[in-house]
Amino acid sequence: MKLTFVKRCLIVAVAGIFGASAAFAQDDKAASLEQLLKMVQDSKVSETREHKQREAEFLRDKANQQSLLNKAKAEKAAEERRSEQLEAKYKAQEIQVAAKRKQLQERLGSLKELFGHLTSTAGDLRSNINTSVVSAQYGDRTAFLDALIDKMNSATKLPKIDEIERLWYELQRETIEGAKVTTFTGTVIKPNGEKAAQTIVRVGNFNLLSDGKYLTYSPKDGKIEELVRQPDSFLSGAAAVQEATSGFTKVGIDPTGPSGGSLLAALINTPSLEERWHQGGTVGYIISAVGAFAALLALWRFIVLMGISGKVNAQLKQQKANTNNPLGRVLKVAEDNPKVDTETLELKLEEAVLKERPQIESGLQLLKIIAMVAPLLGLLGTVTGMIVTFQAITIFGAGDPKAMAGGISGALVTTVLGLIVAIPTVLMHTLVNTKAKRVVHILDEQSAGIIAENAEKK
């Protein structure tokens, strides 16, 4: 330690000599060695004075730090004594609290059971009010119930008679209002986001109606909103209730309204026929186009065959052949060949009938093909839809049964469309085919009669 200190002093002295020499060399050059020695001595005395000043400042700071340390130790000791006192006081008060609680339980007696029933009733009422449509008219009524439940569960507070009476009042009001059809003025949020003050009809605790439309109430934020989609089949009753002043009026209500209105939500979310049709996608559109073509074809052929049948019936009543109908053209062949033998006449008549068949039976084979192809197209759409649904399940999982059911439902739409097209097409084909066969049967019958007459004459 001492050697190190001596080394440091020597280093400082040498640095001071060189520093002083450099300073004096800059300020004033020594004329002789004595003058240089004098200058070095003066510099050493100055540095010694500065070092002593610094040592004094260091000693003062050291004394101050020791004073601060002593003060901190004293404060720590005082706080430790205070902590011990507080712990002792806490233990004593804890014993007093336990005794007071025991005394409270003894004095409550049967009131404790009463408070339990009141707490349960208040909790049930709060749950009902949170989903109640009545709250749309009277606002939030659960704040006092929260305070009442806190008091009855507290060990230091007791409910007042007025609060217990209000609980009874709210129970009675919720029951009575649930059986009323009443009106009030409220702010309704339109589907486009606009707000309007409207007269609202509250049907018990089930539904809210306004301007002939159904509303929904959100208990969380107290908003009354008009449903984006309305149950169209019930809107006439909603308008009638709002206009009625007395008596009975038919209106559709949601029996699940007090629990959130799940039935109405399911009803308005049910896809319409048009939406179902769009769910069929490209294959569904193709099936629909094929079905429309089949209907037009069947209608056209039915009209044509009705005309042909009418002309054939008119020809049956005439003696002279008219070439404006198939039967007349067949009879014309017989009139043009009166002297030919029976075999030749038979061949000519069969040829004439065969020429008429394509015109009479035109389109029937196409209708039959459409009736067979339509269900196959529906099956194709279902299979492709199921592939897409299972791919989505593979990617996103089967955590949402509604989404999976919706995909399967959309896939089955094409099967329904295929059957909807196939069944009427089969019926139309049968009807048109019957008309065509009747005309052909008349041609065959008349041909056979002509051949028989010719054979008798020979």
Mapped onto helix, strand or coil, the DSSP state of residue 292 is helix
What residue ranges do the domains of the chain occupy? 2-66, 109-179, 182-245, 279-457
Other Cβ atoms closer than 10 A to 226: 20
Write out the two tokens for 457. 């004459």
Is the predicted pLDDT of residue 7 greater than 90, yes or no?
A: no
**By mean pLDDT, which of 26-30, 162-166, 272-276, 353-357 is the weakest?**
26-30
pLDDT at residue number 259:
66
pLDDT at residue number 245:
81
Name the pLDDT band for 411 (thresholds 50, 70, 90). confident
Does this model's pTM top 0.75? no
For the segment 86-98, what is each residue's pLDDT rounded down to a tens digit? 999 999 888 888 8
Taking residues 325-341, what's their average pLDDT?
85
pLDDT at residue number 110:
67
Is residue 309 within 8 Å of residue 438, measured between CB atoms? Answer: yes
CA dihedral 403, 405, 407, 409 (to 10 degrees): -140
Is residue 331 within 8 Å of residue 446, measured between CB atoms? Answer: yes
For the segment 412-427, what is each residue's pLDDT rounded down to a tens digit? 899 999 999 999 999 9
pLDDT at residue number 301:
93
C-alpha 223/C-alpha 220 separation (Å) is 8
pLDDT at residue number 108:
64
Taking residues 305-317, what's their average pLDDT?
90
For residue 149, the number of C-alpha atoms closer than 13 Å in the C-beta half-sphere is 14
C-alpha 260/C-alpha 246 separation (Å) is 28
Is residue 184 within 8 Å of residue 200, measured between CB atoms? Answer: yes
Is the predicted pLDDT of residue 217 greater than 50, yes or no?
A: yes
**Could you write out the DSSP letters of every residue in 217-229?**
EETTTTEEEE-SS
Higher pLDDT, 305 or 320: 305
- As beta bridge partners, residue 359 has none
Is the predicted pLDDT of residue 19 greater than 60, yes or no?
A: no
Taking residues 393-415, what's their average pLDDT?
73
Highest mean pLDDT range out of 31-45, 152-166, 185-199, 234-248? 185-199
Highest mean pLDDT range out of 57-71, 252-266, 390-404? 57-71
Displacement of CA 197 from its chain's centroid (Å): 28
Higher pLDDT, 24 or 271: 271
pLDDT at residue number 285:
92
Sorted by sequence, the CB contacts under 8 Å of residue 85 that are 6+ apart come out as none
For the segment 161-184, what is each residue's pLDDT rounded down to a tens digit? 888 899 999 899 988 988 888 889
> pLDDT exceeding 70 applies to what percent of the chain?
86
pLDDT at residue number 9:
42
Taking residues 122-146, what's their average pLDDT?
86
Q: Average pLDDT of the chain? A: 82
C-alpha 430/C-alpha 214 separation (Å) is 48
pLDDT at residue number 25:
43
Is the predicted pLDDT of residue 1 greater than 50, yes or no?
A: no
Residue 162 has phi, psi (to 5 degrees) of: -60, -40
pLDDT at residue number 109:
65
pLDDT at residue number 127:
87
Name the pLDDT band for 44 (thresholds 50, 70, 90). low
Name the pLDDT band for 18 (thresholds 50, 70, 90). very low
pLDDT at residue number 274:
81
Give me Rg for the CA atoms of the chain.
54
Is the predicted pLDDT of residue 242 greater than 90, yes or no?
A: no
For the segment 48-107, what is each residue's pLDDT rounded down to a tens digit? 777 778 887 887 777 788 888 888 888 999 999 999 999 999 998 888 888 887 776 776
**Could you write out the DSSP letters of every residue in 212-259?**
TEEEEEETTTTEEEE-SS--GGGHHHHHHHHH--SS-------TTGGG
